[in-house]
Amino acid sequence: MISELSKQFNPKYIKSYASFNKDKDTVLYSGPYWDHREIEAMLTSILKGDWIVSGSKVEKFQAEFSKQFNVKHSHMVNSGSSANLVMFTALKKHFNWQDGDELIVSPVGFPTTIAPIIQNNLKPKFIDIEFETLNFDVNLVEGAITSKTRAIVVSPVLGNPPNMDVLKDICEKHNLVLVGDNCDSLGTTYRGKHLAELYFCSSCSFYPAHHISTGEGGMVSSNSKEYIDIVRSVSWWGRDCYCVGSNNTLCNGTCGKRFDRWLPDYDKIIDHKYIYSNVGYNLKPLDLQGAVGSVQLTKIDEIDRKRRLHKSIIEAALVEHLGITPVKTVEHADPSWFGVPIICESYEQKVFLVEHFEQNRIQTRPYFGGNILLHPAYRHLDNYANFPNSNQTLDRVFFIGCTPLYNEAVLDYIIEVIKKW
């Protein structure tokens, strides 16, 4: 009954271009690649599930996600931004980093890569980007290392990673931690390995625009169980207890000794559910989000294939008809593209192109905030003028979509619009 019921719904947030009309329809840059199966998963979880918040469906999704991306442990939270927050909070605790310790990172990208570094009283150490790839210049990394440097944070631009061999060598040489913000690059591989395999820990986002979507949601992954235990604790109020879903109803909990002497300065029996070892938050997802995530993972190969194909078709038209130079992909990298990056020759060309696409109902996006140091909340961190290449991203860079939602009619229309410019 639920299966048949799910096919009767046609929510507006599930975009279909099956009857695309090029004279009036808008080409969105992205959106959730959903159909009735995700609706069925949500309805089943709500109507027949054993838990409302994080429970068996989330546990199942976490295990499937780890297997898909060849990591040992994954923990789901309620957004990609939350994933970054708990990732950095847990890193500081796990490695005993001190206030003021430094993490090398690009100044170009989304602010929630930078914000949790600051929120944990750590210091982002910025290095400029190279314009060929739009990633930070790996040749500048070693020159930025000081006695306080603890990690290198990689955030691949629209799915396109930097030279990971160089970064791994630097981390090994200087005893640094390699950390990944994979929110835009979930399906990307390097030397045939998923990026998550190359980092000590990584985050990703399940926002509707990203590779897979659970409505909202995020994940932190690592091969270190001790580290993921801290991630889980921080996202669950900071408590020790790791009972999930129906295990919360067990008399003695998952550990078998729920009621015991848990506090060193309180020699009496206390409930383990209310022992707090970390300063934490409540960042739990709903169980229905885990159910949707499991469905989305069955589509991940199709999503990756279509994103790569659509990017190559659109980029070929940009090169042929507009003379746009493609963003460089480093050797051994196979990006799963979040969008089609367009580097213009000048600010004026960018303005003209953005207006042309938007007037023809093809959505564009800037490369997020450009140099974050230009923004009021982050200006105090460093002098933006020290990063000339990063400063040019707002002037010269934007992107359009390559979502798996596109069909042949949409791709033909995008090419038609490119030819008209």
Looking at residue 51, its pLDDT comes to 85
- Please give the structure tokens belonging to residue 133: 């790839």
Residues annotated as catalytic are 210
Q: Please count the structural domains in the chain.
A: 3
Looking at residue 105, its pLDDT comes to 98
Higher pLDDT, 254 or 134: 134
Which residues, at least 6 apart from 412, have a Cβ–Cβ distance to it below 8 Å? none
CATH number at residue 95: 3.40.640.10
At 52, the amino acid letter reads I
Q: Which of 263-272, 294-303, 333-342, 358-367 has the lowest mean pLDDT?
A: 263-272
Please check whether residues 101 and 27 belong to one and the same domain. no
* CA separation, residue 246 to residues 43, 52, 293, 392 (Å): 19, 10, 20, 53
Mean pLDDT computed over 229-253 = 82
CB burial of residue 410 (10 Å; 0-12, 13-18, 19+): buried
Instruction: Say how many residues make up the chain.
Output: 421
Tell me how far apart the alpha carbons of residues 218 and 202 are, in angstroms, rounded to a whole number.
11
Tell me how far apart the alpha carbons of residues 220 and 180 are, in angstroms, rounded to a whole number.
10
| 339, 326 Cβ separation under 8 angstroms | no
The pLDDT of residue 140 is above 90: yes
Expressed as residue numbers, the domain containing 223 is: 38-244+274-297
* CA separation, residue 258 to residues 252, 310, 411 (Å): 5, 53, 58
CA–CA–CA angle 338, 152, 158 (5° rounding)? 10
Looking at residue 168, its pLDDT comes to 98
Looking at residue 248, its pLDDT comes to 67
Tell me how far apart the alpha carbons of residues 182 and 186 are, in angstroms, rounded to a whole number.
6
CATH number at residue 345: 3.90.1150.10
What confidence tens digit (pLDDT) does each residue in 400-419 have? 999 999 999 999 999 999 99
Looking at residue 6, its pLDDT comes to 66
Please check whether residues 206 and 107 belong to one and the same domain. yes
Please check whether residues 238 and 249 belong to one and the same domain. no
Please check whether residues 122 and 256 belong to one and the same domain. no
Tell me how far apart the alpha carbons of residues 205 and 214 are, in angstroms, rounded to a whole number.
9
Tell me how far apart the alpha carbons of residues 89 and 220 are, in angstroms, rounded to a whole number.
12
Question: Which residues on adjacent β-strands are paired with residue 205?
Answer: 218
Mean pLDDT computed over 222-232 = 97
Tally of CA atoms within 13 A in the half-sphere of 182 that contains its CB: 31
CA–CA–CA angle 263, 267, 271 (5° rounding)? 55
Mean pLDDT computed over 36-65 = 93
Please check whether residues 130 and 254 belong to one and the same domain. no
Mean pLDDT computed over 130-159 = 96
Mean pLDDT computed over 36-47 = 94
The pLDDT of residue 246 is above 70: no
Which residues, at least 6 apart from 149, have a Cβ–Cβ distance to it below 8 Å? 101, 102, 103, 104, 125, 174, 176
Please check whether residues 254 and 223 belong to one and the same domain. no
Please check whether residues 169 and 149 belong to one and the same domain. yes
CA–CA–CA angle 223, 225, 228 (5° rounding)? 90
Please check whether residues 143 and 288 belong to one and the same domain. yes
Please check whether residues 128 and 225 belong to one and the same domain. yes
At 30, the amino acid letter reads S
Which residues, at least 6 apart from 303, have a Cβ–Cβ distance to it below 8 Å? 33, 187, 211, 212, 336, 404
The pLDDT of residue 321 is above 80: yes
CB burial of residue 287 (10 Å; 0-12, 13-18, 19+): buried
Looking at residue 270, its pLDDT comes to 85
Q: Which of 7-16, 26-35, 165-174, 344-353 has the lowest mean pLDDT?
A: 7-16
Looking at residue 263, its pLDDT comes to 86
Mean pLDDT computed over 178-189 = 96
Please check whether residues 49 and 162 belong to one and the same domain. yes
CA–CA–CA angle 10, 11, 13 (5° rounding)? 135
Looking at residue 281, its pLDDT comes to 97
Helix (H/G/I), strand (E/B), else coil: 335? coil
- Please give the structure tokens belonging to residue 249: 């109803």
pLDDT tier, 260 (very low <50, low <70, confident <90, very high otherwise): confident
The pLDDT of residue 238 is above 70: yes
Portion of the chain with pLDDT greater than 70, in percent: 97
Please check whether residues 91 and 25 belong to one and the same domain. no
Looking at residue 247, its pLDDT comes to 67
pLDDT tier, 49 (very low <50, low <70, confident <90, very high otherwise): confident
Please check whether residues 279 and 319 belong to one and the same domain. no
Q: H helices within 175-329, ranges in order?
A: 225-235, 287-297, 300-322
Q: How far is CA 165 from the centre of its chain?
A: 21
pLDDT tier, 242 (very low <50, low <70, confident <90, very high otherwise): confident
Q: Is 289 left (phi over 0), alpha (psi -120 to 50) or beta?
A: alpha
Q: Which of 26-35, 185-194, 238-247, 315-324 has the lowest mean pLDDT?
A: 238-247
Write down the pTM of the prediction: 0.95
Average pLDDT, the chain: 94
Question: Which residues on adjacent β-strands are paired with residue 154?
Answer: 180
Ordered DSSP codes for 79-104: -HHHHHHHHHHHHHHHHT--TT-EEE
The pLDDT of residue 245 is above 70: no
Looking at residue 7, its pLDDT comes to 72
